[in-house]
Amino acid sequence: MSNGIYVQRTLAIIKPDAVQKAEEIEDIILRSGFTILQKRWIHLSPEQCSEFYSEHSSKIFFPSLVAFMSSDPIVVMELAKENAISSWRNLIGNTNSHKARNLEPESIRAKYGRDEQRNAVHGSDSEMSAEREIRFFFGRSIVEPIPTDQAAKDYLEGKLNPTILKALTQLCKEKPHDPVTWLADWLLANNPYKPLVNTRVTVVEQ
pLDDT single digits (tens) 107-165: 999 999 999 999 999 999 999 999 999 999 998 554 445 555 666 667 677 777 788 88
Q: Which of 22-31, 171-180, 192-201 has the lowest mean pLDDT?
A: 192-201
pLDDT band at 198 (very low <50, low <70, confident <90, very high): very low
Q: What is the mean pLDDT of the chain?
A: 85
Distances (CA, A) of 113 to 132, 156, 184: 25, 42, 48
Is 3 annotated as belonging to a binding site?
A: no
Domain locations in the chain?
7-146, 147-206
Is 163 annotated as belonging to a binding site?
A: no
Q: Which residues contact 9 (CB under 8 A, 6 or more apart)?
A: 37, 78, 79, 80, 84, 130, 134, 143
Please report the pLDDT score of residue 196 as a whole number. 47
Q: CA–CA separation, 142 vs 200, rounded Å?
A: 38
**Which CATH fold topology does 147-206 show?**
cAMP-dependent Protein Kinase, Chain A (1.20.890)
Mean pLDDT highest for which of 1-15, 45-59, 167-181?
Answer: 45-59
Same fold, 7-146 and 147-206: no
Active site members: 122
49, 43 Cβ separation under 8 angstroms: no
Please report the pLDDT score of residue 183 as a whole number. 86
Please report the pLDDT score of residue 146 as a whole number. 52
- φ, ψ (nearest 5 deg) of residue 194: -75, 145
Is 15 annotated as belonging to a binding site?
A: yes
Q: Which of 31-45, 161-175, 186-200 has the lowest mean pLDDT?
A: 186-200
Q: What is the DSSP string of 114-131?
A: -SSSS-SEEE--SHHHHH
Please report the pLDDT score of residue 13 as a whole number. 98
Reported as half-sphere exposure (CB side, CA atoms, 13 A), residue 42 has a value of 15
Is 159 annotated as belonging to a binding site?
A: no
CATH number assigned to the domain covering 7-146: 3.30.70.141
Q: Is the pLDDT assigned to residue 86 strictly greater than 50? A: yes
